[in-house]
Amino acid sequence: MGWLKAYDPGSYPPFAVTVDLVLLTVQQEELSALVIKRAEPPFKGRWALPGGFVRPEEDLSAAAERELTEETGLSGEMVHLEQLASYGTPDRDPRMRVVTVAYLALTPNLPVPTAGGDAAYARWSPVGELLEVPRRLAFDHHRILSDGLERARAKLEYSPLGTGFCQPEFTVAELRQVYEIVWGTPLDPRNFHRKVTGAPGFLTATGQTTTRNGGRPAQLYRRGDTSVLYPPILRREPEPFV
């Protein structure tokens, strides 16, 4: 009631729809997110997640991939880009009613982006610093980044997406460091090794070895072909679920 009437074309309240990206990477022993310096009000001079309007004939996921490519040069086939959640509080943008659909991607260590030719335009910032203070980020991006972080942490348990943080070829120790940084917990190297090499389809050995981390040469692996990790790599204490 009211539904059918309101659903009449031409009589609906207009919204702006954007996509925002939570792009995470691991660099210098820290988990970082890509942020953009806002050049215009509102929140002029503050950092914000990259994002932009969905175009009139564009799918949501296509808009997210386009933004990803614009900001990082990565294509949608190269990284796993997944929908995170949508945010639409009426006052989240002071200018107009905006609903944003947030996407999450875990990317390998990239060169510092300089889209727009402005060195101060975009940068990777440690997630810990960005979330330290609730209002450090523009709009409701603190919330979005928090949600993205929690999703990324959970994904590492049950999916092989942690490899997305690594170079195409990586050692078990490099992968373990990713887990340790994202979860903020030390993991037993020996048990971790057994778990990841034992999970079918997670890793495929290249046959090559490397000594780039010192010590005995380590096997190099590539990401395997599975999308599920079984058995999962579990954190000690699971976080609240909802």
Instruction: Confirm or reject binding of residue 236 to a copy of itself (CB under 8 A).
Output: no
Across 108-147, the runs of DSSP E, i.e. the strands, are 122-126
Supply angle C-alpha 30, 52, 227, rounded to 5: 55
Phi, psi (5° rounding) for residue 171? Answer: -100, 165
Instruction: Confirm or reject binding of residue 131 to a copy of itself (CB under 8 A).
Output: no
Instruction: Confirm or reject binding of residue 190 to DNA (CB under 7 A).
Output: yes
Q: Which of 93, 148, 171, 183 binds DNA (CB under 7 A)?
A: 171
Q: Which of 27, 43, 46, 60 binds a copy of itself (CB under 8 A)?
A: 60
Q: Which of 30, 46, 70, 153 binds a copy of itself (CB under 8 A)?
A: 70
| Residue 181: CB minimum distance to a copy of itself, A | 21
| Residue 173, contacted partner among DNA, a copy of itself, none, CB below 5-8 A by kind | DNA
| Residue 207: CB minimum distance to a copy of itself, A | 28
Instruction: Confirm or reject binding of residue 96 to a copy of itself (CB under 8 A).
Output: yes
Per DSSP, the three-state class of 185 is: coil
In this structure, what token pair is assigned to residue 238?
């699971």
Residue 21's contacts (CB-CB under 8 Å, 6 or more residues apart) are 34, 49, 50, 51, 64, 67, 68, 71, 102, 103, 104, 105
| Residue 82: CB minimum distance to DNA, A | 24
| Residue 242, contacted partner among DNA, a copy of itself, none, CB below 5-8 A by kind | a copy of itself
Quick check: 184 and 30 in contact, CB under 8 A?
A: no
In this structure, what token pair is assigned to residue 188?
């037993």
Quick check: 103 and 64 in contact, CB under 8 A?
A: yes
Looking only at residues 202 through 221 of this chain, which bind DNA when binding is defined by CB under 7 A?
209, 211, 213-219
Long-range CB pairs of 71-78, under 8 A, 24+ apart, other chains included = 71/21, 71/23, 71/34, 71/36, 71/113, 71/115, 71/122, 72/23, 72/34, 72/107, 72/110, 72/113, 73/110, 73/113, 74/105, 74/107, 74/110
Instruction: Confirm or reject binding of residue 226 to DNA (CB under 7 A).
Output: no
Binding mask 153-192 for a copy of itself (x = CB under 8 A): --x--xx-x-------------------------------
Looking only at residues 133 through 152 of this chain, which bind DNA when binding is defined by CB under 7 A?
none
What residues line the site for a copy of itself (CB under 8 A)?
Answer: 1-4, 6-7, 9, 12-18, 39-40, 50-60, 70, 80, 82-83, 85-90, 95-97, 99, 101, 115-116, 155, 158-159, 161, 227-230, 238-242
What residues line the site for DNA (CB under 7 A)?
Answer: 171-173, 188-191, 193-195, 197-198, 209, 211, 213-219, 231-234, 236
